[in-house]
Structure 1
Amino acid sequence: MEKKSSGNRLVTESADHLRDLILARPAGEQIGSLSEVAAELGVGIVTVQQAARILEHEGLLSVKRGPGGGYYGARPDHEAIERAFATYMRVHNIGYREAFELTVLLDCDIICAAARELPKTQLGVISRLIERLDNIENAEDCIRFENDFRESLFELFERPLLELLSHVAMQLYTAQSDPAIFAQAVPLQEWKQGRRRILDAIHCRDEELANFEAHRFRRMVLRWSTA
């Protein structure tokens, strides 16, 4: 039993080392042949093969055979990660409402970045979002707006964690297909007023005001979630 445990630990450590090698290089670059990787890690060929299977499952490694073959670094498919994350949350009974709350908690950073760095040529995007608020009448409209609001900012600013969580939240909502989940958590008029104040601050390119309004909206969400 102790020998088996030691072997498993060696495979895990080798996988960790190999993962570091892959992430330190551009996707698609050759890491080395089986024997070269074994020499790099200081372990046997069988251990490398077992570690490689772990990283293949993670989407970080591909194996090519024949001339020029060997181990090549890769990057996981975004949609696969989102599906896995959404499944994990559903297994642990984390629903759309909780995912939405977490997303809003992470919003402050990208909202401030938008107010600080938004190019003048993109102000029309914010103006159109402000105009849409007048036509929002129900929870379905709110959810679509929340998604479009963030997608508009993701196109301008890279925030991978927030983008992942936002996409997962939409997957959870789609899976549950119940607008009442949002309606029960968020009073419509308060939500519209909060989002309008944030968008106005971004449009004015007032970072201090945007930060204030983003945190005020976050406090409202926390109040809704604990009511």
Structure 2
Amino acid sequence: MKAKTSGGRTAGPARTAKAETAPRRLSAVYGAADALRRDAIDREDGDLLGAEEDLIRRYRVSRPTLRQAAALVCQENLLRVKRGVGGGYFASRPDSRAVAHMAAVYLRTRQTRVSEVIRAVEPIRIELAKLAAAGDNEAARDEMRQFLAGERATPDAQMRYRDFLRSEREFGRILGDMSGNKVISLFLLILYDFSGMLGRNEDLYINRPHRVSEYREKRNRLAEALIEGDAELAVVAAKRCAMNASEWLLEDLGAQSGGSAFLHLAGAPPEGDGTTARRPAKERKAAASRAGA
């Protein structure tokens, strides 16, 4: 019995065969891509997987199928293809900055709010601080010592905004290395990249040198606790840094809107939920004073 097309016409043998071949071709491409991906992950960065002819025989696929599969794996930054003399298929490694940037772009296109980022940073930084203080990566601990020495040697008056952003990213990198947890470290890097996409009116620190100064002071206390290996003190210091950011966010949103409706739309907790962020101003100031003591 002959197959019918969507318009009711009878499909000839060639049309039917073509329709049946397409899924098999895609399956072959994905299968070759899986094989390429596994081989690339098992090798070191820059290692030769083989020449094109070698891989065609190894994976038992056609040249067009192999090239389509290679294009997919190249998009993942796991493969690099070089044509001509000395060419071939080489293992590669995705850069964490590139991965984090794409995730940050995704969050930005989904209308992610600044308040969501600030709330996500707090538990991530706290967990990283706890792991880093208890960790045994002495090379990273030495890096943190050098970072802290550099921070102490740079007065607030000489700290430009771009320098501050670079120092914050550097601090996050060292913190991640000290923690030994690549997954949580990547999450923090994603949030840093997202923050770098914020407009001037969304940024908590731009044109606010007093905030930069206050945050640097608390971050230096966190660095000291990490160097000393005091996990309990490191967690407290990380929480104080996060509390500052939450307070400043609410302060900015209140200044922009003058009303609680905007705060709610921006993701601030509604009144009556018992969080610090929605306490009366006098109570919030008292809590901040106690935390900075």
TM-score w.r.t. the length of structure 1 is 0.68
CA contact (8 A) 1:30 1:70 kept: yes
Report whether the alignment pairs 1:206 with 2:230: yes
Unaligned runs of 5+ in 1: none
CA contact (8 A) 1:126 1:202 kept: no
Per the TM alignment, residue 159 of structure 1 is displaced from its structure 2 partner at its CA by 4.7
Per the TM alignment, residue 156 of structure 1 is displaced from its structure 2 partner at its CA by 4.9
> What is the aligned partner in structure 2 of residue 175 from structure 1?
197
CA contact (8 A) 2:52 2:89 kept: yes
Report Cα offsets for 1:122-152 as digits up to 9, x if no partner.
54645776999x96xxxx89x8475453144
Per the TM alignment, residue 100 of structure 1 is displaced from its structure 2 partner at its CA by 3.9
Mark the structure with the bigger radius of gyration. Answer: 2
Q: What CA distance in whole angstroms lies between the structure 2 residues aligned with 1:14 and 1:102?
A: 38
Report Cα offsets for 1:1-45 as digits up to 9, x if no partner.
443223212212221221011010001111112232123223333
CA contact (8 A) 2:70 2:79 kept: yes
SS at match of 1:71: strand
1:64-79 pair list within 5 angstroms: 64-79=82-97
SS at match of 2:49: strand
The one-letter code matched in structure 1 to 2:196 is: T
Task: Call closer, same or farther: CA 1:214–1:99 in 2, change over 3 Å.
Answer: same
> What is the aligned partner in structure 1 of residue 171 from structure 2?
149
> What is the aligned partner in structure 1 of residue 101 from structure 2?
83
1:86-125 pair list within 5 angstroms: 86-116=104-134, 117=136, 119=138, 121=142, 122-123=144-145, 125=147
1:44 to 58, 62, 73: 62
CA RMSD, aligned part only? 4.2
2:29 to 1, 5, 11: 11
Which structure carries more relative contact order (alpha carbon 8 Å, separation 6+)? 1
TM-score w.r.t. the length of structure 2 is 0.55
Count of equivalent residues: 217
> What is the aligned partner in structure 1 of residue 273 from structure 2?
none
Larger deviation, residues 173-182 vs 120-129: 120-129
Unaligned runs of 5+ in 2: 1-18, 206-210, 248-266, 270-293
CA contact (8 A) 2:133 2:230 kept: yes
Per the TM alignment, residue 95 of structure 1 is displaced from its structure 2 partner at its CA by 4.2
Task: Call closer, same or farther: CA 1:203–1:130 in 2, change over 3 Å.
Answer: farther
